[in-house]
Amino acid sequence: DTGVSQDPRHKITKRGQNVTFRCDPISEHNRLYWYRQTLGQGPEFLTYFQNEAQLEKSRLLSDRFSAERPKGSFSTLEIQRTEQGDSAMYLCASSSLQGSHTQYFGPGTRLTVL
């Protein structure tokens, strides 16, 4: 078991561009979560999937954000028309169905919007 992986690890983009991040969860985990972390703050919940179904979205997830998990395995998070305020660490986590309190995080994707 290699743990949760995320790609890319770093992304620098210009304001207005679209970016997409990928997350590969622990293979036997049904649930996959996205969080966002800004400097000096704890991670904040964005959305989560159970298999391929997106079950909850935070009000932090504006219309410019979309997440998918088409085959119930890996997930992508896309941000359209990026803004400087989108600069943050985007974290993915996964858990089993019964163990949603024990979420295992990936290394994160650090996004910088210029």
Partner 1 sequence: QKEVEQDPGPLSVPEGAIVSLNCTYSNSAFQYFMWYRQYSRKGPELLMYTYSSGNKEDGRFTAQVDKSSKYISLFIRDSQPSDSATYLCAVHNTDKLIFGTGTRLQVFP
91 binds partner 1 (CB under 8 A): yes
48 binds partner 1 (CB under 8 A): yes
Q: Which amino acid is at 21?
A: F
Size of the site for partner 1 (CB under 8 A): 25
Who contacts 2 (Cβ-Cβ below 8 Å, separation ≥6)?
Answer: none
Task: Quickly tell me which residue has 């935070």 as its tokens.
Answer: 58
Identify the residue among 1, 2, 28, 40 touching partner 1 (CB under 8 A).
Answer: 40
Question: For residues 33 and 47, is the Cβ–Cβ distance under 8 A?
Answer: yes
Q: Residue 16 CB, nearest distance to partner 1 (Å)?
A: 26
Q: Which amino acid is at 3?
A: G
96 binds partner 1 (CB under 8 A): no
To the nearest 10°, the Cα dihedral for 28, 31, 34, 40?
-80
Identify the residue among 12, 15, 56, 81 touching partner 1 (CB under 8 A).
Answer: 56
Q: Which residues of the chain form contacts with partner 1 (CB under 8 A)?
A: 4, 6, 31, 33, 35, 40-45, 48, 55-56, 91, 100-108, 110
